[in-house]
Chain A
Amino acid sequence: MDQLDRRIVNALQGGFPIAERPYAVAAERLGIGETELIDRLGRLLAEGTLSRFGPMFDAERMGGAFCLCAMRVPADRFEEVADAVNAMPEVAHNYARAHALNMWFVLATERPEQVAAAIAAIERTTGLAVLAMPKEAEYCIGLRLAA
């Protein structure tokens, strides 16, 4: 990752234009060419520096629901359980964490009732309990990481 990559990551974490040639507009702000921006974004995605590029949808505003869930997974079953959890399309992200509750994932569903159904399916498939921790209040949101 060079200096220009960093500028791109810092500048494009939001506010990407909705325009006929949006990459050209964004590239001009960065003082580079459209093709260079597209090529660099492709590389940053391929390298894994970016996990996604595009619109971030809010499931709740579209009538859906998010729910943070935690599981206590025996160490010798961790990979198998991770595969089973990740195979569910409702699982938006999943992290291993250092704690007795060692697997933490977020369900993002179109309809609220699908959260309970997904939890039941995971419990059935893995034979392990899922602790649901839906948010009750939100005190801030707005992540921007400096590259």
Chain B
Amino acid sequence: MDAIDRRLVRALQAGLPLEPQPYSAVGESLGISAGDVMVRLEAMLERGAIRRIGAVPNHYALGYRANGMTVWDVDDARIDALGRSVGGLDFVSHCYRRPRRPPLWPYNLFAMVHGRSRAEVEEMAGRIAALLGSAVRGGDVLYSTRILKKTGLRLMD
């Protein structure tokens, strides 16, 4: 990432301008051509600095009010193989291994599921528990009750 890429990221972190030629508008504000903006964005997509370009829906507004973070205390020797299986379930959007933080937090596997009701989320959690089988010592489902903040990455000067 060179200095122009960084300025480009900063210019786009609030979102893409809603006008017919948004890349041209961004280029104008940075003193570069629309073509240069597009080449740079293509390169960032290519190397994964941009995950995707598009709409980020608000779960709640779409009716996904039961956003459940399912968390599990899984045998360390088996977590990687089982984590990949859980991550492959079609209703799991994110799945990570994280450190336990005892005594408050005994869980090392996180699998995020999104449902339209708690019953739907509980059913999904049951399927994850069944998949984990004897390797799981405990689990919980944490429901989000409110979005307090949601923005993209902010680059600072």
A positions within 8 Å CB-CB of B: 1, 8-9, 12-16, 18-24, 34, 38, 41-42, 44-45, 47-59, 61-64, 68, 70, 72, 82, 85-86, 89-101, 103-105, 108, 110, 131, 133-143, 145-147
- In the assembled complex, the Cα of A54 lies from the Cα of B104 at a distance in Å of 38
Report the minimum CB–CB distance from B148 to chain A (whole Å): 4
Instruction: Say if the beta carbon of B140 comes within 8 Å of chain A.
Output: yes
Q: Which residue of A lies closest to B82 (CB)?
A: A139
Contact B12 A54 (CB under 8 A): yes
Q: Is the CB of B154 within 8 A of A89?
A: yes
Q: Is the CB of A56 within 8 A of B92?
A: no
B1 contacts across to A, CB distance below 8 A: 62-63
Main SS class of interface, B: mixed
Contact between chains at B144 and A96 (CB < 8 Å): yes
Check A139–B145 contact: CB distance below 8 A. Answer: no
Nearest-CB residue, chain A, relative to B111:
A139
B35 to chain A, nearest CB (A): 9
Q: B9 an interface residue at 8 Å Cβ cutoff? A: yes
Contacts of B151 in A (CB 8 A): 52, 92-93
Contacts of A49 in B (CB 8 A): 57-58, 61-62
What's the minimum C-beta distance from B17 to chain A, rounded to whole angstroms? 9
Q: Is A16 touching B53 in the complex (CB atoms < 8 A)?
A: yes
Q: Is B86 in contact with A139, judged by CB distance below 8 angstroms?
A: yes
Q: Are B9 and A9 in contact, with the CB atoms below 8 A? A: no
